[in-house]
Amino acid sequence: MSIFEYNGSALVAMVGKNCFAIASDRRLGVQLQTIATDFQRIFKIHDKLFVGLSGLGSDAQTLYQRLVFRHKLYQLREERDMKPETFASLVSAMLYEKRFGPYFVQPVIAGLGEDDKPFICTMDSIGAKELAKDFVVAGTASESLYGACESMFKPDMDHEELFETISQALVSSIDRDCLSGWGGHVYIVTPTEVTERILKGRMD
């Protein structure tokens, strides 16, 4: 079994018109046994920057703690929040530093940059950035997510439609993956508010 399939995860982020959405599943398992159904995979770095970490749960939490540390240092020095592009470079550098003994994590970064322009990006476990203009996926359900997003995505959706699209893509992909599930957790971020929703899904 691959190290990424140890805990199971599904992550997706999508770009809309002046907004973005990032969503994950809620299962934490130990191979085929489920041990938690409310596991947090998406973390807030600052009001307009979220990072989702898929892969091995312990590495995800450790990496998140390190990222919060670096961002707080940055805030103290620069007296402002980090831009999403800068943050993506930071994550990439931290992962590449461990090139020959990597963190088993695939991050998905989503944020509103300058002029509230949405930014999304994903990386492999050693920091190779993939900047996309439409959607990015990560986790054990990634192959289904690629297919679902590719067909359901439309450019310039408003936040209501974006929520519906990302939720449908997430839930339908999770249903086809044994290792992710137990509902969904969706964050929709616009320049004025952050909406967090928990989705009902199949509990198997």
Residues at the contact surface with another protein, assessed by CB under 8 A = 1-4, 6, 47-48, 55, 66, 69-70, 73, 92-104, 123-130, 132, 142-143, 146, 151-152, 154, 163-165, 167-168, 171, 183, 191-200
- In the complex, minimum distance from the CB of residue 97 to another protein, in angstroms, rounded to a whole number: 5
Q: Which of 26, 52, 18, 8 is nearest to 155 (CA)?
A: 18
- In the complex, minimum distance from the CB of residue 3 to another protein, in angstroms, rounded to a whole number: 5
Residue 167 or 180: the one with the smaller Cβ distance to another protein is 167
- In the complex, minimum distance from the CB of residue 44 to another protein, in angstroms, rounded to a whole number: 10
Residue 9 or 167: the one with the smaller Cβ distance to another protein is 167
Q: Which of 125, 190, 150, 129 is nearest to 12 (CA)?
A: 150
- In the complex, minimum distance from the CB of residue 109 to another protein, in angstroms, rounded to a whole number: 15
- In the complex, minimum distance from the CB of residue 197 to another protein, in angstroms, rounded to a whole number: 5
Residue 35 or 58: the one with the smaller Cβ distance to another protein is 58
- Tell me the C-alpha distance between 72 and 66, whole Å: 10
Residue 28 or 185: the one with the smaller Cβ distance to another protein is 185
Residue 129 or 176: the one with the smaller Cβ distance to another protein is 129
Please name the amino acid found at residue 135: F
Residue 32 or 93: the one with the smaller Cβ distance to another protein is 93
- Tell me the C-alpha distance between 195 and 56, whole Å: 27
Cα angle 137-140-144, degrees, rounded to a multiple of 5: 60
Cβ–Cβ < 8 Å for 42, 26: no
- In the complex, minimum distance from the CB of residue 96 to another protein, in angstroms, rounded to a whole number: 5
Other CB atoms within 10 A of residue 86 CB? 16
Cβ–Cβ < 8 Å for 181, 201: yes
Return the DSSP state at 40.
Answer: -
Interior/surface letters 33-54, b for 16+ CB within 10 angstroms, e for the rest: ebeeeebebbbebeebbbbbbb
